[in-house]
């Protein structure tokens, strides 16, 4: 072979070696990455090639899959009572992706989870197993009561109910809501529906129960009371305080008054202050307890950290850099303190559970299509936020607030109930913005344990109601009562 031909042969050999090397690399090292790449149409086709597993509430599926004729995406998602359960399930859409439980547990629901494979030869068949099911902690009667309470008011808002003993989430409602079935496919009509929801100023796609933060207003006073008692700022809840009404913020000329006449709150005890929601006593208690001890107690209840239920929540906030006026304002749930409705349900549940805060969770069990258990979730202690003695004193005050104070509308016949209403000012000019209405409560059984704690948030911005009628006891208490009754009837 002459020299030029030899060079050409060597060059072709190098090219063939490189080509074989690249093919080997792609097939053996990049195959999985390419097979799962979101831009790979085959991935999308495979994801919708078979019916999906279900999300279960109260032993019954609230989701399903229906055939989509004329499309290579064979099945799409449908829900029963979609708007009521959307804050729990989220959506699973051929065009828009997935959120909440549909997203977090997508591998189980779609059949991709390796735990669903049966037998040693299963991985070699190339067939995806049938999707598994996600069994939630939701109580269907409590969920219905929460959603109905908000929609009957035509209100923007959220409700969260917990079992204080375990942390199980019994209800999680958010309004306005949406029906995930209405944009589960890829048609132009469904695309327009999603766009309409995404552009709606009331944010129906947002889960207000866990993903939006608000000033907690006077409901935060139960945490202020717990911090003040736990750290020795208040040693007797029936001893008159030195907090005058109105109360002048330190280093300031600003005076904070009360909804009830100031004479009714002047230098009263903490029990009386809780009864009538006297701002002055809680401003003074937070100031004297101090920002560090207040923040320490708040963090033990779950503030300043995201929660994973397993859906990730927004973090409620108690800042570290506060001056004295700002510290005082946190005592009444204003200033820089922020919370989700879930967080205030955790505070209420922790106090009802003698100071022990349980980790909130939304899923009881993951199951295969054959009903085998893939994973079982168990209660987990988050923190002993305050001592049992401290918690019982706050319970006393909350129960007194229901029997003899501003929380009377939440009372349930034959059951001990503790509660605290609140209104929360917000916005750049609080005189122009309509306040949020809050209510937190728990119900107690004869043995002293509590099976349910509730937090209700109502944003009356779009409601046909006067500013004078915006109050947590008026708007939120009936919803909290209905949710607790639904749980108790079980």
> Is there a single domain that holds both residue 110 and residue 226?
no
> Is there a single domain that holds both residue 353 and residue 273?
yes
Task: Give exposure, 300-325, as e/b (b: 16+ Cβ within 10 Å).
Answer: bbbbeeebebebebbbbbbbeebeeb
What string of pLDDT tens digits covers the 490 residues of the chain? 577 777 677 777 777 777 776 767 666 665 555 455 555 656 677 767 789 999 999 999 999 999 887 777 788 999 999 999 999 999 999 999 999 999 999 999 999 999 997 655 455 455 678 999 999 999 999 999 999 999 999 999 999 999 999 999 999 999 999 999 999 999 999 999 999 999 999 999 999 999 999 999 999 999 999 999 999 999 999 999 999 999 999 999 999 999 899 999 999 999 999 999 999 999 999 999 999 999 999 999 999 999 999 999 999 999 999 999 999 999 999 999 999 999 999 999 999 999 999 999 999 999 999 999 999 999 999 999 999 999 999 999 999 999 999 999 999 999 999 999 999 887 655 555 788 899 999 999 999 999 999 999 998 877 766 666 676 678 899 999 999 999 998 6
H helix or E strand, kind and range, residue 63: strand 63-67
- Cβ proximity of 104 and 311 under 8 Å: yes
> Is there a single domain that holds both residue 303 and residue 448?
yes
- Cβ proximity of 133 and 101 under 8 Å: no
> Is there a single domain that holds both residue 194 and residue 270?
no
> Is there a single domain that holds both residue 399 and residue 448?
yes
> Is there a single domain that holds both residue 182 and residue 252?
no
Q: Report how far apart, in Å, the C-alpha atoms of 215 and of each of 173, 299, 317, 320 are.
A: 19, 16, 10, 16
- How crowded is residue 292: how many other Cβ atoms within 10 Å of its Cβ? 12
> The tokens 């004869």 sit on which residue?
446
- Order across the sheet with 373-376: list the strands: 60-61, 55-57, 133-136, 363-367, 373-376
- For 279, the token pair is 């701002």
> Is there a single domain that holds both residue 104 and residue 224?
no
> The tokens 């109050």 sit on which residue?
471
Domain boundary, last residue among 169, 199, 229: 199
> Could you tell me if residue 152 is inside a domain?
no
Total domain count, the chain = 2
The confidence score (pLDDT) of residue 71 equals 74
Rg over CA atoms, the chain? 28
Among residues 299, 311, 309, the alpha carbon closest in space to that of 339 is found at 299
- Cβ proximity of 433 and 462 under 8 Å: no
- Cβ proximity of 330 and 322 under 8 Å: yes
Among residues 52, 80, 56, 55, the alpha carbon closest in space to that of 66 is found at 52
> Could you tell me if residue 10 is inside a domain?
no
The confidence score (pLDDT) of residue 69 equals 79
CATH number at residue 363: 3.40.710.10
Diameter of the chain by CA atoms? 113
The confidence score (pLDDT) of residue 124 equals 47
Its domain, for residue 334, covers 217-489
Q: How far apart are CA 370 and CA 197, in angstroms?
A: 37
> The tokens 């059984």 sit on which residue?
445
- Catalytic site residue from 218, 241, 269, 441: 218
Q: What is the DSSP letter of 361?
A: B
Q: How far apart are CA 77 and CA 69, in angstroms?
A: 14
> Is there a single domain that holds both residue 186 and residue 274?
no
> Could you tell me if residue 338 is inside a domain?
yes
3-state helix, strand, coil in the chain (%, to 5): 40, 20, 40
> Could you tell me if residue 150 is inside a domain?
no
The confidence score (pLDDT) of residue 125 equals 52
Q: How far apart are CA 270 and CA 281, in angstroms?
A: 7
Give the torsion sign (CA, 23, 28, 30, 31).
positive
> Is there a single domain that holds both residue 187 and residue 254?
no
Q: How far apart are CA 43 and CA 17, in angstroms?
A: 31
- Where do the DSSP E strands lie in 113-154? 133-136
> Is there a single domain that holds both residue 258 and residue 122?
no
The confidence score (pLDDT) of residue 121 equals 45
Is 218 an active-site residue?
Answer: yes
> Is there a single domain that holds both residue 194 and residue 299?
no
The confidence score (pLDDT) of residue 9 equals 73
The confidence score (pLDDT) of residue 16 equals 79
The confidence score (pLDDT) of residue 42 equals 65
CATH number at residue 184: 3.90.1310.10
> Is there a single domain that holds both residue 265 and residue 129?
no
> Could you tell me if residue 53 is inside a domain?
yes
> Could you tell me if residue 20 is inside a domain?
no
- For 187, the token pair is 């048609």
The confidence score (pLDDT) of residue 13 equals 75
The confidence score (pLDDT) of residue 126 equals 55
H helix or E strand, kind and range, residue 78: strand 75-79
Q: How far apart are CA 350 and CA 360, in angstroms?
A: 11
Q: Report how far apart, in Å, the C-alpha atoms of 385 and of each of 20, 255, 280 are.
A: 63, 32, 25
The confidence score (pLDDT) of residue 206 equals 96
Q: How far apart are CA 117 and CA 154, in angstroms?
A: 47
- Cβ proximity of 294 and 318 under 8 Å: yes
> Could you tell me if residue 205 is inside a domain?
no
Among residues 289, 247, 240, 245, the alpha carbon closest in space to that of 269 is found at 240
């Amino acid at each position: 072979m002459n020299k030029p031909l030899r060079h050409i042969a060597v060059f072709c050999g190098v090219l063939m070696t490189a080509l074989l090397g690249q093919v080997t690399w792609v097939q053996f090292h990049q195959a999985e990455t390419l097979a799962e790449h979101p831009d790979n149409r085959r991935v999308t086709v495979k994801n919708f090639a078979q019916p999906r597993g279900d999300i279960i509430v109260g032993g019954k599926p609230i989701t399903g899959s229906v055939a989509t004729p004329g499309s290579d995406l064979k099945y799409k998602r449908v829900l029963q009572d979609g708007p009521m359960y959307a804050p729990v399930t989220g959506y699973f859409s051929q065009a828009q992706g997935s959120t909440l439980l549909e997203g977090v547990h997508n591998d189980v629901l779609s059949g991709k989870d390796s735990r669903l494979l049966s037998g040693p030869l299963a991985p070699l068949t190339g067939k995806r197993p049938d999707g598994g099911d996600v069994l939630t902690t939701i109580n269907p009667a409590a969920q219905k009561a929460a959603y109905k309470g908000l929609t009957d008011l035509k209100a923007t808002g959220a409700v969260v109910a917990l079992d204080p003993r375990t942390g199980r989430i019994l209800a999680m409602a958010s309004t306005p809501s949406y029906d995930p079935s209405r944009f589960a496919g890829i048609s132009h009509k469904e695309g327009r529906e999603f766009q309409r929801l995404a552009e709606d100023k009331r944010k129906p796609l947002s889960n207000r129960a866990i993903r939006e933060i608000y000033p907690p207003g006077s409901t935060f006073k139960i945490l202020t009371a717990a911090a003040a008692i736990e750290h020795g700022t208040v040693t007797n809840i029936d001893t008159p305080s030195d907090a005058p009404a109105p109360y002048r913020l330190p280093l300031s000329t600003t005076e904070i008054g009360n909804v009830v006449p100031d004479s009714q709150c002047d230098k009263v005890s903490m029990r009386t202050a809780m009864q009538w929601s006297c701002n002055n006593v809680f401003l003074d208690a937070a100031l004297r307890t101090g920002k560090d001890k207040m923040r320490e107690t708040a963090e033990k209840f779950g503030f300043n950290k995201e929660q994973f239920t397993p859906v990730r929540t927004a973090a409620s906030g108690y800042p570290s850099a506060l001056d004295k006026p700002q510290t005082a304002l946190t005592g009444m749930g204003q200033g820089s303190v922020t919370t989700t409705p879930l967080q205030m349900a955790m505070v209420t549940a922790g106090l009802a559970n003698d100071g022990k805060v349980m980790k909130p969770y939304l899923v009881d069990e993951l199951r295969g299509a054959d009903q085998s258990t893939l994973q079982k979730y168990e209660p987990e202690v988050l923190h002993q936020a305050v001592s049992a003695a401290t918690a019982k004193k706050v319970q006393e005050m909350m129960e007194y607030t229901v029997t003899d104070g501003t929380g009377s509308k939440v009372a349930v016949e034959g059951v001990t109930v503790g509660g605290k209403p609140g209104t929360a000012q917000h916005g750049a000019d609080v005189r122009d913005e309509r306040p949020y209405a809050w209510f937190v409560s728990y119900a107690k059984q004869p043995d002293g344990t509590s099976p349910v704690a509730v937090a209700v948030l109502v944003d009356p911005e779009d409601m046909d109601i006067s500013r004078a009628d915006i109050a947590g006891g008026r708007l939120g208490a009936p919803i909290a009562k209905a949710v607790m009754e639904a749980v108790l009837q079980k």
